[in-house]
Amino acid sequence: MDTVDELIARAMSISDTLKRPAHFTNHTHCCECQDHDDELQPYTPRDVTRRALGTGGWDPITFTTLAGFRYFLPGLVRVVLSESGPDDYYDQFLWHISMDIRWQERKQACSTQEQELVRDTLTWLLEHRAQEFEEAMLADELLDALEKWSETASPNRPHPAT
Closest CA to 75 of 18, 132, 35: 18
Confirm if 110 and 73 have CB atoms less than 8 A apart.
yes
Write out pLDDT tens, residues 17-37.
Answer: 999 999 999 998 999 889 999
Q: What percent of the chain has pLDDT over 90?
A: 81
Q: What is the DSSP letter of 44?
A: -
What pLDDT score was predicted for residue 85?
A: 76
Q: Whole-angstrom Cα distance, residue 122 to residue 73?
A: 13
Whether the pLDDT of residue 144 is over 60: the answer is: yes
Write out pLDDT tens, residues 35-80.
Answer: 999 999 999 999 999 999 988 888 999 999 999 999 999 999 999 9
